Structure 1
Amino acid sequence: MKLYSLKNGVNPRRVRIFLAEKKVTVPIEEFDMESAGHKQATFLAKNPLGTLPVLELDDGTLISESVAICRYFEEMIPEPPLFGRSSLERARVEMWNRRMELELLLPTIDVFVHTNPFWTGRRTQVAAWGEQRHKLLVERMRWLDSELKGRAFIGIDHYNIADITAQVAILTARGALKLAIPEDHANLTRWWNAVSARPTSRA
């Protein structure tokens, strides 16, 4: 078994945190954006989209997409349950993880791609779209702050993949966008401090 990952990649980070929570160690082959090895023919034979992460099983089976990889390990190693403990919890985790992807993670990535000089010449940048997504991201941080009132975690009462998705989104916003959580977002700040204190946050 081998995990193909990307240094500083958002979705690979999701998988690494998930595996750390499961206390699973998997051999990792890491690529970087500068050399773009994941865009070369050898890797494209494994994933024609050239995206990471990709999990290669011992029999050669390939699983792409971060949540699909996490679901595979959830089935293999059910404890701790990061997708929920019951039908209702699993539905709520699915709902909230999707919300964190659409309302927090994707806007963060869009702002980075469309406004950061790193992507000049690598991707077509539309500055106006980046600015619109930045406004949305700020609005969604306020929304999530209100949703976290009286809650320790996102969606259910224990740490789960929706927390991990929001965690990597905020981490990327802070690092790549220099967008910190506003000081008046007490609930979001409390949550952020708690998830950041987990040993797995450094995976």
Structure 2
Amino acid sequence: MKLYTAHRAPNPRRVLMFLHEKGIGGIEMVDVDLNAGAHKLPAFRAKNPVSRVPALELDDGRVLSETRAICSYLEGIYPAPNLMGANPEERAFIEMHDRRIEWYWLMPIANCVRHTHPGLAALEQPQFPDFGRSQGEKVHESARWLDDTLAQQPWMAGERFTIADITAFCALEFARLMKFNAGAAGFARLQEWRDRVAARDSAKA
């Protein structure tokens, strides 16, 4: 298999952390230069018509895109260690938390960065700075919700580390580009959780 990735983007990093947590090797990594527009070239569009990374090319030539779909496939063929739920109830609650984080935490962060950071101008044309700043305000709102969640449980989806923690961590690390720091913003529990995840081998890889 081949994984088309971009090392600075949060969604490819989610898959890379997922692979590392599960100890999956033997997948060829293909870096896609987003700033150079490699994801929009015909050769890549033929693999993924929406021109996004990550994308996983299977051994039979089919290409699976979208982070959650890729991770679901990998969880299915490499079931241990489990990161997405061991039974229907746990799977549903982990997916709920992961989806919430993806839509209401990662998405505003990405929108803020893409529309306000000059280094992302090549990827987001036209940029709408006012929209980006409004999305940045939503990041603080979501940080409060996540901080409150962590007052009730040690990890994003409950009592153990899951894919929801990977999604939240990669989003928070990407938020550095909008100069967001959980501790400095008064979200102590979110900062403590971030430091625990950052200490894991998958976060350092």
Is the contact between residue 89 and residue 156 of structure 1 (CA under 8 Å) also seen in structure 2?
Answer: no
Gaps of 5+ in 2: none
1:202 aligns with 2:190: no
- Partner residue, 1:45: 46
Q: 1-side partners of 2:48 and 2:119: how far apart?
A: 24
Kindly state the Cα deviation for residue 39 of structure 1 after the two structures are TM-superposed. 1.2
Counterpart mapping for 1:1-203 below 5 A:
1-25=1-25, 26-120=27-121, 122=123, 123-174=125-176, 176-183=177-184, 184-203=186-205
Gaps of 5+ in 1: none
SS state at 1:3 partner: strand
SS state at 2:157 partner: coil
Distance 1:150 1:32, change over 3 A: same
SS state at 1:156 partner: coil
Q: 1-side partners of 2:7 and 2:198: how far apart?
A: 19
Is the contact between residue 17 and residue 166 of structure 2 (CA under 8 Å) also seen in structure 1?
Answer: yes
SS state at 2:191 partner: helix
Q: How much is the aligned-residue C-alpha RMSD, in angstroms? A: 1.2
What TM-score, normalized to structure 2?
0.94
Is the contact between residue 35 and residue 122 of structure 2 (CA under 8 Å) also seen in structure 1?
Answer: no
Is the contact between residue 182 and residue 188 of structure 2 (CA under 8 Å) also seen in structure 1?
Answer: no
Is the contact between residue 4 and residue 56 of structure 2 (CA under 8 Å) also seen in structure 1?
Answer: yes
Instruction: Name the aligned partner's letter for residue 156 of structure 1.
Output: G
Distance 1:186 1:72, change over 3 A: same
SS state at 1:140 partner: helix
Identity %: 38
Kindly state the Cα deviation for residue 121 of structure 1 after the two structures are TM-superposed. 5.4
Q: Between Structure 1 and Structure 2, how many residues are aligned?
A: 202
Instruction: Name the aligned partner's letter for residue 156 of structure 2.
Output: I
SS state at 1:42 partner: helix
SS state at 1:149 partner: helix
Tell which deviates more after alignment, 182-191 or 62-71.
182-191
Kindly state the Cα deviation for residue 8 of structure 1 after the two structures are TM-superposed. 0.7
Kindly state the Cα deviation for residue 44 of structure 1 after the two structures are TM-superposed. 0.8
Kindly state the Cα deviation for residue 11 of structure 1 after the two structures are TM-superposed. 0.6
Kindly state the Cα deviation for residue 52 of structure 1 after the two structures are TM-superposed. 0.6
Instruction: Name the aligned partner's letter for residue 19 of structure 1.
Output: L
Q: 2-side partners of 1:134 and 1:73: how far apart?
A: 33
SS state at 2:151 partner: coil
Q: 2-side partners of 1:161 and 1:191: how far apart?
A: 14
What TM-score, normalized to structure 1?
0.95
Is the contact between residue 7 and residue 32 of structure 1 (CA under 8 Å) also seen in structure 2?
Answer: no
Kindly state the Cα deviation for residue 202 of structure 1 after the two structures are TM-superposed. 2.2
